[in-house]
Amino acid sequence: MADSAEASQIALALETLSRAYLSEGRFDAAEATLRQCIDATARVFGTQRHPGVATLLDMLAIALVQQGKNEEAEAVLRASVEVKVEVHGGPAHEEVAHSLHGLGEALSRQGKFDEATKVFHASLEALHRATGTEWPADAGPTLQALAMAHVHLGQYAQAEEAWHRKAELGERLHGTPANSDTVPALGMLAQLCLRRVQRPADALRFSTGAWQAALAGQLWDHALQIGPVHLACLAGNGQPAEAIEQVVRALIQVIDRFPEGDPARSHAISELQRLYPGPGNANG
């Protein structure tokens, strides 16, 4: 009994240390400690097929990804999915969906986009079945990752569908388009239509919706990102100078909310100068 208690304490201490290393960004140390922790935890429970082990595998995958060890992360996440499917009695569980999302990300980082799309769809299906709704609250990041994988494959119609679902999900959850799911999804739709599929009118419709929602919700980070895209869409649709200048003035006000040296601020200023080489430059 004493040996069992001591083993549990060791496993807990290793997990606490691993979490500290992850939070400090010491990913190599976290990896080494997590491998010890996984072995110790498996000995405590007498099996590798335990929810506690799966949680540690997910943590190990984070440490590996942060070191660029994506192939190893893929293998670890596959093991995590297998354990979670077994202990939860099937794939219809939010924990399974979480690990599937991570697996899809690991595959995408290796350029395995076709396989990644299948895994992201499996993650969404697991969420749908686990929550009993077509609009699970946690689906946003997976829809975003799925859309990007489709873009890399040149599958623009599928990417557009994923971003439409992400935009609608946000609006359903928050009751307004002024939220951090809908605004970036509309922004990505605008960029897709403007730069990939040459539908400038649709691009302007999406960018207008994103810009107005970002301002209405005071989502300044998103407004800083969508502002230059909206300007490009206005110009691409031959909108009047007055309409463009109005957006320029509003974007300058948004830029001024961010400190000097902020990378997002610097990018927005650069884009503003490129798209509107006029009075706005003096305020950058």
Q: What is the pLDDT of residues 182-240, one digit of tens each?
A: 999 999 999 999 999 999 999 999 999 999 999 999 999 999 999 999 999 999 999 99
pLDDT in tens, 140-184: 999 999 999 999 999 999 999 999 999 999 999 999 999 999 999
Cβ-contact 177, 136 below 8 angstroms: no
Report whether 227 contacts 258 (CB < 8 A). no
Kindly report the average pLDDT of the chain as a whole number.
94
For the cut 90, the answer to whether the pLDDT of residue 278 exceeds it is: no
266 has a pLDDT exceeding 60: yes
Instruction: Give the pLDDT confidence score for residue 7 in this predicted structure.
Output: 86
Least Cα distance to 38 among 5, 70, 83 occurs for 83
pLDDT at 277 (0 to 100):
77
pLDDT band at residue 281 under the 50/70/90 scheme: very low
What is the rounded distance in angstroms from the CA atom of residue 266 to the CA atom of residue 240? Answer: 27
For the stretch 67-101, what's the b/e string if a residue is b when 16 or more beta carbons lie within 10 angstroms of its beta carbon? eebbebbbbbbbbbbbbbbebbeebbbbbbbbbbb
Confidence of residue 283 (pLDDT cuts 50, 70, 90): very low
- What is the rounded CA–CA span in Å between residue 180 and residue 223? 11
Q: Mean pLDDT over residues 70-83, rounded?
A: 97
d(CA 17, CA 24): 11
Tell me what the mean pLDDT of segment 133-139 comes to.
95
Mean pLDDT computed over 56-60 = 97
Percent with pLDDT over 90 in the chain: 91
2 pLDDT above the threshold of 50: no
pLDDT of 280 reads 43
Q: What is the mean pLDDT of residues 22-46?
A: 95
Output the pLDDT for position 244: 94
Single pTM value for the model: 0.91
- Inter-CA distances, 108 with 44, 198, 202, Å: 35, 26, 28
CA–CA distance, 24 with 103 (Å, rounded to integer): 24
6 pLDDT tier (thresholds 50, 70, 90): confident
Higher-pLDDT residue of 4 and 84 is 84
